[in-house]
Amino acid sequence: MRLAPLAVALAAVTALPLPAVADCAGEIAALFSGGALDPFVRPNRREITVQIAPDGAETPVADVFWDGPVRSANCTATVCALNVGNRIWTAPGIEGPWTPAPTQLSDDPEGFVRAIGEAMAANLSDPECPGTQTLGDRPVQVFRYRTRTNPNEFGSWWGGLYTAFIDVETGQMIRLEERESVASWAADPAPGVKITTVVYDDAIAIAAPEG
Q: Could you tell me if residue 27 is inside a domain? A: yes
Q: Which domain holds residue 81?
A: 22-200
Q: How many domains does the chain have?
A: 1
Q: Is residue 26 part of a domain?
A: yes
Is the distance from CB of 65 to CB of 43 less than 8 angstroms? no
CATH number of domain containing 45: 2.50.20
Would 211 be classed as within a structural domain? no
Give per-residue pLDDT as tens, 68-121: 999 999 999 999 999 999 999 999 999 999 999 998 888 899 999 999 999 999
Taking the model in full, what pTM does it have?
0.87
pLDDT in tens, the chain (211 residues): 444 444 434 344 334 444 456 799 999 999 999 999 999 999 999 999 999 999 999 999 999 999 999 999 999 999 999 999 999 999 999 999 999 999 888 889 999 999 999 999 999 999 999 999 999 999 999 999 999 999 988 889 999 999 999 999 999 999 999 999 999 999 899 999 999 999 999 999 999 998 6
CA distance linking residue 181 with residue 147, whole number of Å: 10
Structural domain includes residue 137: yes
